[in-house]
Amino acid sequence: MTNAVSIRPGRPALPEWVRRLPEYLMIWVPLLLSAAHLVSFSLWTIWISFTPSTLVPVSGWVGLRNYSSVLASRNWQIAFDNLLLFGSAFVLLSAASGLALAILLDQRIRAENVLRSIFLYPLAVSFVVTGTVWSWLLNPGLGIQKLVHDLGWASFKFDWLIDRDMAIWTIVIAAIWQSSGFAMALFLAGLRSVDADIIKAAQIDGAGPVRIYRRIILPSLWPITITVVVIQLQFAISTFDLVRALTNGGPGIATQLPALVVYDLMFQRSLLGRGAAAAVLMLLILLAVLLPYAAWRYVQRRRAAHA
């Protein structure tokens, strides 16, 4: 009698999309919810900016009246001028200091790990804490000026925090201290990714360190430089808590920035429509920075794909 061997059919393989469903749910559901939240509230803010809303949202249509009022106000004009000064000085100086720190650490010095941690430490501190601490350091009656006076140098003067013309530079100093470590980390990663064979070939040809950096290393950091500039510009445009904690927009309104104008209109003057208009103007400034960067990244990816 022949024993019949029964072969149990295997389970059919699950489709690819079924097996990856948990991955899709974990990634796309929060992403879509965040995008819906961002888009819906942006559209709501845009709608409010065209209404006569004050303390609470109301229906109605006033056209561009809120925008013209904001653009004609002295607060916004000073805030926009300060943004140009703060943004350009902060971006250039933080990128330059971050690059200098990255070049220093790229020399394979003995205390590299310790110094890298020290330079990155400010990133772990909130902007409110940064602003508060720097307000103590720059206060003429409490900080650096008082310390130097106590040491016997009575003619020393460092009262930028209460000087209408120099107060904006205190924000620049605090922001550079906060963000230089971030620029350093990106530049250091770029320096470590430069092909060592190209550098060795240049050294064999007799190129010195300065020429190697100027002709080989720094040009290769161009994409990282653009990324650093765009990210720092985004921070400069949306800066609020640092200024709020450091100068509160003062002396007077000498250090007003657009985010403080939005806060003042919405929460202190109860002019919701004008505050929304100022927020939309901030969004347009931000898009003027991000959209060209996104287009540049798209072109770079297309070139890399066709290379």
Q: pLDDT tens, 264-298?
A: 999 999 999 999 999 999 999 999 999 999 998 88
Domain hosting 285: range is 73-306
More confident residue, 17 or 265: 265
As a whole number, mean pLDDT of residues 165-172 equals: 95
Average pLDDT over the chain reads 89
Question: For the chain, how many structural domains are there in total?
Answer: 1
Residue 266 lies in a domain: yes
Residue 197 binned pLDDT confidence (cut-offs 50, 70, 90) = confident
Q: Is residue 227 part of a domain?
A: yes
Cβ-based burial of 41 (10 A; exposed 0-12, middle 13-18, buried ≥19):
exposed
Residues contacting residue 226 through CB under 8 Å, at least 6 positions apart: 293, 296
Given a cut of 80, whether residue 3 has pLDDT beyond it is: no
CB 105 within 8 A of CB 184: yes
pLDDT on residue 1: 47
Lookup result for tokens 């561009």: 64
pLDDT band at 246 (very low <50, low <70, confident <90, very high): very high
Per-residue pLDDT, averaged over 139-165, amounts to: 91
pLDDT at 304 over 50: yes
- Distance separating the N- and C-terminal Cα atoms of the chain: 69
Please count the CA atoms within 13 angstroms of the CA of 170 that sit on its side-chain side. 35
pLDDT over 80 (residue 257): yes
Over residues 39-53, the mean pLDDT reads 94
pLDDT of residue 48: 95
- Tell me what the mean pLDDT of segment 92-121 comes to: 90
Note the pLDDT of residue 98. Answer: 95
Residue 105 lies in a domain: yes
Q: What percent of the chain has pLDDT above 90?
A: 61
Q: What is the CATH number of the domain that holds 100?
A: 1.10.3720.10
* Position 147 in a domain: yes
User: In the prediction, which pLDDT does 207 show?
Assistant: 82
Residue 66 lies in a domain: no
More confident residue, 143 or 5: 143
Q: What letter represents residue 76's amino acid?
A: W
DSSP string, 26-70: HHHHHHHHHHHHHHHHHHHHHHHTTS--SSS------TTHHHHHH
Establish if 160 belongs to a structural domain.
Answer: yes
Residue 2 has pLDDT above 70, yes or no: no
In a domain, 263, yes or no: yes
Q: Which residue has the tokens 């060209």?
A: 292
- CA 116 centroid distance within chain: 20
Note whether 157 and 145 are within 8 A (CB). yes
What mean pLDDT comes out for the span 194-222?
86
Residue 108 included in any domain: yes
User: Looking at residues 184-208, what average pLDDT do you find?
Assistant: 88
pTM, whole model, 2 decimals? 0.87
